Amino acid sequence: MWTTGRICAATMKMSWVLLLLAAFLCPVHCMTREERQKLRDQVVEMFDHAYRNYMDHAYPADELMPLTCRGRVRGLEPSRGDVDDALGKFSLTLIDTLDTLVLLNKTEEFEAAVRRVLSDVRLDNDIVVSVFETNIRVLGGLLGGHSMAVMLREGGRRMLWYEDELLHMAKDLGLRLLPAFNTSSGLPYPRVNLRHGVRGPETRTGTETETCTACAGTIILEFAALSRFTGDPIFEDHARRALDFLWEKRQRNSNLVGTTINIHSGEWVRRDSGVGAGIDSYYEYLMKAYILLGDDLFLQRFNIHYASIMKYISQPPLLLDVHIHKPLLPARTWMDSLLAFFPGLQVLKGDIRPAIETHEMLYQVTKKHNFLPEAFTTDFRVHWAQHPLRPEFAESTYFLYKATRDPYYLEVGRTVLENLNRFARVPCGFAAMKDVRTGSHEDRMDSFFLAEMFKYLFLLFAEGDDLPFDIEDYIFTTEAHLLPLSLSTAPRSQTTPAANSTAVEELDDSNFDWTCPNTHLLFPDPAFPRNFRDPIKIAVDKSCPRPSPIREPGMGRLPLRAQDFMANNPEHLELLRRMGVSLIHLKDGRVQLVQHASQAVSAIAAEDGMRFMQEMMELSSQQQKEQLPPRAVQIVSHPFFGRVVLTAGPAQFGTDLSKSSTGVRGFITVAEPYSGCAELTNAEFVQGRIALLQRGQCMFAEKARHIMKAGAIGGIVIDDNEGSSSDTAPLFQMAGDGRSTDDVTLPLLFLFHKEGNILLEALREYREVEVLLGDKARDRASLFKGKALPGALLDGSGDTEEGDCSTEQKDQGQPEPASSPPPDQSQPSTQEPDQSETAAGEEEEEKGEEVVAVAPPKEASESAAQTEAKEEPSSDKDPDRLLDALLADWQEDLEAFRQMEKDEL
């Protein structure tokens, strides 16, 4: 939808109010009318290039393959998995483009396209398609085309022959989708066979048990429009029932919904909640259903959800997924590009400030990579590098321009236009980006590119008299198809309302707040939108100028320098608060800094905060190097012999393990102090070994220097964020300290808490643990080449060698007992009995020190206590049981490492 407004409940009459800011001062480079016209014409030329190549090289196929200049026909090309469920051999791109042709004043081409659809397209194909995609693209396209045909016919110039044929096709398709709704919950199956429905073996579907929230909740606009166009209420009734069920299944404490749900039981399968993929258009359709249909119930539900989104998910400018049952706990540390629609929805809501902030963040990410990556991290790096020419960012840009009339958004649109021409345009159309970092292409041009992208860009640059109809008379679906607002007054049969509490409750007037806000109160100063954008630009853009350490004469020094900042220092946190800088604690232990100048205690403090952020981004810029792949910590000593591999994060300084064919091999020992932030007190034990350190209290480079001074040959930093794991957190790289790190010449690796505990428990159990630090896991035969090991190991015959391992371990461990300190190195001698070791551990626990990671679990402690009187550890006598348990627990870590090594970067 292109503007904000609401329906007057008393008269059900649409009353649209543009959110215009108080007269903007034209910036220095205000776009002239001639420039806008030129860009408008460029949009039309680009559309022609894409559309004509589809018609010349692909039609009647569903989509164009622009690199090979041919059509994509399902079954003839290699399967792409779920992506191909949008293809139904029904000339998808042509149907999806119908109303775009009219909007761009191509009425002659539109008339020809309608005739082609009526003569060539069949909807009874024996093919399984996505209910969601077919609804928004094909049913929506047919209804949008019908709306345009009726508008042209009533104008008396074009389409005089048209007798609602597209509407008849739409009803036929709607009836073919209805079998998917035959569930006890009313939620549709995710797929349906266009000829056979969902029942019976010939359908090749109907066995699915779950669907995404957006898939079930993005039906109402198209189905309600179909019902009101045809007078048959069955479609709207089914869509409303699905929405009612989703509303009933929301988490009642957080008022959030999960990402996927069981269509039979209503149980949430994925309980993470956000505004991106899997949920996005569910929220959009609640708001737009209110606008199109005039039912206040939809607005009430939307506002309840929206309040929770702003409370838990929105951390301006970020939008981070959370768990619906624990909404204060982030579910992931990256964002997907589909959330780019949300600023546009916030414009419809009337909540402009967070829309400006999030949009600006997205724009800065776009400028860094030319396109919005399919997913990016909270520090704005690429997570998934693809970009299938999605239109959501252009959509929000258009909404914000309509709301603010700020010429800034015209320049944003120009950037989008130029990047499409420079990087995505190919001789046969526009190709999706396979990797935004390298500029490589993928042989695909999705139908939504023609359906949405060119609509929003054309409307952004067009003047009112450039449009063939009044755009304010229509609402956009999620696929940007045009449905007339006059449907709100169309008759609808009265049906029994769903049994839900919301339907019978008196509507709360507070839920309608901000639907039509007074923009003069929101923005008393025309410069306010720019004030919102500037801090976001600084936070994302790592190329901001280096600030001078001293402020203007008489203003004093910055109260806190970026290179001195520590996230666990209470004094630093208080200084940040005074400067309007807030911290977002991420699940993997990192923190994200965001500044809101309005939250600073004074204008001077806000300036301090601005310059602190500039310093921090400059420091980050200095630290950032080319993204490094994961590293490996491989346990090579008895009884593991290389079978346990832990995924490790690299450091951006020190020895580059990828350039070493052998890696760094040595026994591990715990540094004292464990933080490694001071000169080590157990240097004699660390010398010649790999030191274990705890994350926090100082910079990584400082830890490396301290263990290097003690004679360590390597270091492993273990995360202090309990529960963190490489299974759920993105790869973590340790940065330098803003100064030269050329003096660090040993390798330093990072382990999350789960993997670090594996090392600590092994050290506690076996006293002597040898590891190999490398860029990847080594073959076990090569690890022990030239050493006397049981033949079964060298033969690679699995795990049959453990019976002889105890003897081999004794042979390996006895030559240098003096250099083998126990994990608890508060005692200077390695000959101290086990009783003192246990007592020391208990004393440290009483002090509340962070050494619990070194201590074994309760069961392990009891086992150790029972064998204290024995000269040999029990593990040497019977390692099989413990080894099997460890291997069972750690197999997933090995799998995770292999997967990250293959795919992560």
**pLDDT tens readout for residues 606-654:** 878 887 887 777 666 655 544 678 888 999 988 888 878 888 889 888 9
CB atoms within 10 A of CB 565: 19
Q: How many CA atoms lie within 13 A of 373 on its CB side?
A: 22
As given in the structure block, the two tokens for residue 775 are 């860029």
pLDDT tens, residue by residue, 316-347: 899 999 999 999 988 988 999 999 999 999 99
Among 374, 395, 607, 672, the active-site one is: 374
Model pTM greater than 0.85? Answer: no
Q: Could you give the percent of the chain with pLDDT greater than 70?
A: 74
As a whole number of angstroms, the distance between CA 314 and CA 307 comes to 10
Return the pLDDT at 855.
33
* Predicted pLDDT of residue 741: 83
State the CB neighbour count (10 A cutoff) for residue 34.
8
Instruction: Indicate the range of 387-391, 469-473, 551-555 predicted with least confidence.
Output: 551-555
* Among candidate residues 175, 78, 85, 165, the one with its CA nearest the CA of residue 121: 165
pLDDT over 60 at 22, yes or no: no
d(CA 70, CA 57): 5
Average pLDDT over residues 481-507: 63
Q: How confident is the model at residue 861 (pLDDT cuts 50, 70, 90)?
A: very low
pLDDT band, very low/low/confident/very high, at 506 (cuts 50, 70, 90): very low
Residue 893 pLDDT level (bands cut at 50, 70, 90): low
Summarize pLDDT for 149-183 with one digit per residue, the tens: 999 999 998 999 999 999 999 999 999 999 999 99
Model confidence pLDDT, tens digit, residues 351-399: 999 999 999 999 999 999 999 999 999 889 999 999 999 999 999 999 9
CA separation (Å) from 45 to 50, 69, 84, 329, 666? 9, 19, 29, 47, 64
What average pLDDT does range 248-272 have in this prediction?
A: 96
pLDDT digits (tens, 9 = 90+) for 112-145: 999 999 999 999 999 999 999 999 999 999 999 9
In the prediction, which pLDDT does 833 show? 34
What was the pLDDT predicted at 736?
74
The one catalytic residue in 351, 392, 618, 672 is 392
Helix (H) or strand (E) holding 876: helix 874-877
Q: Report how far residue 367's alpha carbon sits from residue 358's, in angstroms, rounded to the nearest whole number.
A: 14
Q: What is the pLDDT of residues 699-739, one digit of tens each?
A: 888 899 999 999 999 999 999 888 788 777 777 888 776 67
Is the pLDDT score of 670 beyond 80?
A: yes
Mapping DSSP to helix (H, G, I), strand (E, B) and coil, where does residue 58 land? coil
The yes-or-no verdict on residue 899 having pLDDT over 60 is no
Mean pLDDT of 205-223: 95
pLDDT at 527: 58
Tell me which residue of 249, 251, 252, 253 sits closest to 261, measured CA to CA. Answer: 249
The three-state secondary structure class of 34 is helix
Tens of pLDDT, residue by residue over 412-432, are 999 999 999 999 999 999 999
Lowest-pLDDT choice from 115-129, 439-453, 497-511, 559-573: 497-511
**Is pLDDT above 70 for 497?**
no
Catalytic residue among 210, 222, 280, 755: 280
Q: Residue 13 — pLDDT band, cuts 50, 70, 90?
A: very low
The pLDDT confidence band at residue 886, using thresholds 50, 70 and 90, is: low
Mean pLDDT of the chain: 80
Q: Is 670 helix (H, G, I), strand (E, B) or coil?
A: strand
Read off the pLDDT of residues 277-326 as tens digits, 9 standing for 90 and up: 999 999 999 999 999 999 999 999 999 999 999 999 999 899 999 999 99
Distance CA(428)–CA(244), nearest Å, equals 45
Least confident of 56-60, 82-86, 548-552: 548-552
892 is an active site residue: no
Q: ∠863-866-868 over CA atoms, to 5°?
A: 110
Q: Which of the residue ranges 44-48, 684-688, 786-790 would you say has the lowest mean pLDDT?
A: 786-790
End-to-end CA distance of the chain: 37
Per-residue pLDDT band for 511 (boundaries 50, 70, 90) equals: very low
Catalytic status, residue 374: yes
Whether residue 133 lies in the annotated active site? yes
99 is catalytic: no
Rounded distance between C-alpha atoms, residue 814 and residue 283, angstroms: 67
Nearest to 134 by CA among 188, 66, 191: 191
Q: Is the pLDDT of residue 858 over 60?
A: no
Residue 515 has pLDDT above 80, yes or no: no
**Do strands 70-72 and 268-270 pair parallel, antiparallel, or not at all (unpaired)?**
unpaired
- Is-contact 421 46, C-beta < 8 A? yes
Q: CA-to-CA distance for 862 and 549, rounded, in angstroms?
A: 57
Q: Mean pLDDT check: name the lowest of 91-100, 404-413, 799-808.
A: 799-808
The dihedral over CA atoms of 433, 436, 438, 441, expressed in degrees to the nearest 10, equals 0
List 84, 96, 99, 133, catalytic entry: 133
Portion of the chain with pLDDT greater than 90, in percent: 55
Tokens of residue 715, six digits: 């270091």
CA distances from 113 to 55, 100, 118, 145, 484 (A): 10, 11, 9, 10, 21
pLDDT reported for residue 489: 84
State the pLDDT at residue 619.
64
Cβ pair 344, 396 in contact under 8 A: yes
The pLDDT confidence band at residue 818, using thresholds 50, 70 and 90, is very low
Q: What is the pLDDT of residue 18?
A: 35
Residue bearing the bigger pLDDT, 334 or 592: 334
Q: What is the DSSP letter of 734?
A: B
